[in-house]
Chain A
Amino acid sequence: MSFASIEEVIERFAGERYICNRTIATVVYLAAHLKKPILVEGPAGVGKTELAKVLAGALGQELIRLQCYEGLDEAKALYEWEYAKQLLYTQILKDKIGEVIEGTKTLHDAVDRISSQDDVFFSERFILPRPLLRAISSAEPCVLLIDEIDKSDTEFEAFLLEVLSDFQVSVPELGTLQARHVPLVVLTSNNAREMSDALKRRCLHLYIDFPDREQERAIVLLKVPEAAAHLTDELVGAVQAIRKLDLKKAPSISETLDWAKALTLLNVDSLDSELVNETLSTICKYEGDIRKAQQELKEYVARQKAKAARPTATEPPKDLLH
């Protein structure tokens, strides 16, 4: 069940409550048809991970997620033998094993006898599939999300390269496992580290930036429908202005949503309120940032007011209170 056109991508994503622009849709469409992984980059909190989730939802496929971190290795990403289970089984089957080696004269014979049957213990029964192996051996097509690939080590990246180019994995005891369906792969990166050229060459590249004002407004309206329309306008404008400041961490989309929810919950209907300053901690997470944001917010509200005061004097009475 793939996408027939770029428009269909936008439509089906909208069905999953994800607003995407044409650039994103084009890349997703290409990836689905060229069977290439997408490498998504961009600032934190623009919906990179969400993109993969929504993609899985839109395609009606399972999402398999691999979270990368420093020190992540093959055993955690691909597969592991279940030692404990193997041990347990050998304990339980002690008698049976005794039967098997019964009648052998020498230690050598006994080992031979057992080793002829050791594939019982190194079978798929005792393998613990990790995300990569699950994605490859999955009977249904699926979406594989490799999150924050930039956090992983370079060795792991090289290993990943091998998996992504052939979609096959070799387990020495079992042989080579070939993917039944080539999964749609989404890699996300916060650019903490430059990825290798070889990896980039195999991927389609997608850079997602913060949404523009219109788009962000649409997102807030979609996700927080209970927020008043003019509050949404003001709030999105303010967030856009705050993002332009030199902050340690710019407010993300989800934080905009949190703020909208918080203000709605507190029954605030205009940014020109004491409460607003106190809720700024939902969008800024550093003391210094909050202070800068407060300053900017004050100026923003003043600007808005000046703008509103000019064309009509019949604005709601809230302006007259001051």
Chain B
Amino acid sequence: MDTKIIEFAGLLRQNGIRVSFAESLDTFRALDLVGLRSRATVKDSLRATLVKRAVDLPAYDALFDLYFSGIGEIVKRSEAASMEALEMTPAEFQALLDALERLLREQGIELSELARALLQQDSGRLERLMREAAKQARVDRIERSFQEGQYAQGMQQALGIGDLARELQAISEAIAGMGNPRGDDMQRFVDRRLQELQEMIRRYVRRELEQQDVAQRDSLRMQALAEKSFYYLSEDEIRRMKEAVTKLAQRLKNVLAVKRRHARRGKFDVKATLRRNLQYGGVPFKIQFDERKRVKPQVVVLCDVSDSVRNVSRFMLQFVYSLQDLYSKVRSFIFVADIGEITKLFEENEIHQAIDQAIRGNVINVYAHSDFGRAFRLFHRDHLAAITRHTTVIVLGDARNNYNLPHEWVLKEIKQRAKQLIWLNPENKMTWGFGDSEMDRYLPHCDVVEECRNLNQLYKVIDRLVLV
């Protein structure tokens, strides 16, 4: 068992779950305590000692089942399969096995170990032989599915399947030569078992491959998701996006907390110190420092939902929605040529509905030609009061203005009033300023301008924002 645990810990590590040496030791102690009788208890014990992050639990469960269901399961399944193929009841099947054994003994046919294990349904021995062969063929090194055949072959060779086939052939002939009434069944059984062995090997190799794959599959999915431009979001993807945005928000908050802590140790407050130490007769036992007021982050988001950014507007709105979910002081607007506030809409609706309504044109006409200049002017007229010196303004859009007046003076004014002005452009940086893109005119008025059309880029952007 010890080697199996160590091997399993290695497998977990391979799959990106951090397991330290000390933790493997804990596992041994835990198993000494609870014993190996109940599978569920062993699973719980290993989980408690080896897996320390909630996110790793699904991978752990999958790996445990794969690793510990093991060869035994495969062997057992193959026995059932042989029985089914011969269309016999368990009793008949057992009788056949006994008859075969008797016959072989009478004939004085000496079986090899493998053949005996196979024909007498000795699953324990078969399991051991297969495990040894797998080790010899280094099946645990399999990485890709196209290698399955190669490793299966290696295992067959290690088991000596060629010799086995000849041996079984001889037995089959011997049976045929005797005219036993059940000879046919026995012959079929012997043939069948050879096929089953090959099947078992194939299954075993497949299982090994799956073990290597669990985490890889997961990380690949995350990667794919991060690169995706969010045409359509599945349930799972939304959850992951939320996780990502929450993590980003957390990161922001941590940085803020550190800043605050430093700020807290700011100035010495004479008045408060005196007042606080009155109870000690004015002897300053406790020093009081200035405390800075906490300013909640205020965010105003302007999101372009015009036709030119159709394929990323879902992503951008999702970002807006998550943002609004996390902070209390977020006001969000969408614009094409008009501008409309969607704060309320996003607050009250579930994410899919909210986004659908926003881009279907319930708030503003989304089929107009985009006109950033006009939208900005309208924002300036109606909503400028939303911006104070604590506000961070985020504009999401491609700045494709259809050759209308850009009115960049609005941005200039916003920048003067706001704490920070950030522009996230879903378009490739190379195309900014070409054609009807007015990015070059808007750019000088922004504090931060970044290219951002998927989760990976968003991560990078936030990383940089935090440093600012």
Contacts and interface: CB of A to CB of B under 8 A. Distances in A.
A6 B40 CA distance: 12
Interface stretch (A34-42, A58-66, A166-174): A34-42
Contacts of A264: none
A29 B57 contact: no
A29 B47 contact: no
Nearest to A33: B33
A27 B20 contact: no
Nearest to A26: B44
Interface in B21-71: 22-23, 26, 29-30, 33-34, 40-41, 44-45, 47-49, 51-54, 57
Contact of B41 (A22, A70, A201, A287): A22
- Chain B CB count within 10 A is highest, among A70, A83, A194, A204, for A204
A39 B52 CA distance: 9
A110 interface: no
B258 to A, nearest CB: 9
B257 A36 contact: no
A197 interface: yes
Given A22-B44, A23-B44, A207-B57, A30 B49 contact: yes
A192 interface: yes
B108 to A, nearest CB: 54
Contact of A36 (B26, B261, B325): B26
A213 interface: no
A42 B280 CA distance: 45
Interface in A183-240: 191-194, 197, 200-201, 203-207
Given A39-B52, A204-B49, A206-B48, A30 B33 contact: yes
Contacts of B325: 248
Contacts of B34: 6, 26, 29-30
A114 interface: no
B347 interface: yes
Contact of B347 (A30, A36, A39, A288): A288
Nearest to A23: B44
Interface in A286-302: 287-288, 291-292
A107 interface: no
A22 B39 CA distance: 12
A193 B34 CA distance: 32
Given A26-B48, A30-B34, A34-B33, A87 B281 contact: yes
B54 A191 contact: yes
A89 B185 CA distance: 101
Interface string A19-62: 00011001101100110100101100000000000000000000
B106 interface: no
B40 A205 contact: no
Contacts of A70: 257
A289 B23 CA distance: 41
A84 B280 contact: yes
A50 B456 CA distance: 40
B3 interface: no
Contacts of A26: 34, 41, 44-45, 48
A41 B48 contact: no
Interface of A: 6, 22-23, 26-27, 29-30, 33-34, 36, 39, 41-42, 70, 83-84, 87, 153, 191-194, 197, 200-201, 203-207, 246, 248, 287-288, 291-292
The 4 A-B residue pairs with the shortest CB-CB distance, nearest first, are A200-B52, A26-B44, A204-B48, A205-B52
Given A26-B45, A26-B48, A29-B34, 17 more contacts: A30-B34, A34-B26, A34-B33, A42-B54, A83-B280, A87-B281, A153-B257, A193-B250, A194-B53, A197-B18, A197-B52, A201-B22, A204-B26, A205-B49, A205-B52, A205-B53, A292-B350
